[in-house]
Amino acid sequence: MEPADSIGRIGFRKWYERQLIEGHAWFITCFLCMIAIAAVLEELSFRGPLARLLAYGAVVFASGVVGIYAFLRYQRLMTMAERLGDLATCTQCGTYGRFAMVSAHAARCRKCAHEWRLID
């Protein structure tokens, strides 16, 4: 339901662009978490105070959780964008991305009024 609502409200091309921007923002988040983990592990030492060791462990754990979530979100957004992007071409006239949502699953071409199933 979510992509149909968004596409119906702002149009496919803007929705697609926003998916790519948000997806890459999540990818950058994942990358920054990997850098944070590497930096903390580089600095990690078992000779210092226990509080510092626990704080470093907490940073590694939090960065790991956020990084995994960010990667899964990136993967989900890009997969959906690619799947709908493949189906966004009108099969009758070949126009790309110019359609209106007529239901939660169906799209209608703005050029030739052909309808097809966009979302399963």
**Binding footprint of Zn ion on the chain (CB under 5 A):** 90, 92-93, 95, 109, 111-112, 114
Q: Which is nearer to Zn ion, 105 or 110 (CB)?
A: 110
State the nearest-atom distance from the C-beta of 110 to Zn ion, in Å: 8
Q: Which is nearer to Zn ion, 55 or 113 (CB)?
A: 113
Indicate the SS3 state at residue 84.
helix
What per-residue string of b and e applies to 83-109 under the rule 16 or more CB within 10 Å gives b?
ebeeebbbeeeeeebbbebeeeeebbb
Q: Which is nearer to Zn ion, 26 or 99 (CB)?
A: 99
Q: Which is nearer to Zn ion, 41 or 112 (CB)?
A: 112
Give the type of residue at 78.
M
d(C-alpha 48, C-alpha 39), whole Å: 17
State the nearest-atom distance from the C-beta of 108 to Zn ion, in Å: 9
Sign for the pseudo-dihedral over CA of 69, 72, 76, 79: positive
State the nearest-atom distance from the C-beta of 113 to Zn ion, in Å: 7
State the nearest-atom distance from the C-beta of 4 to Zn ion, in Å: 19
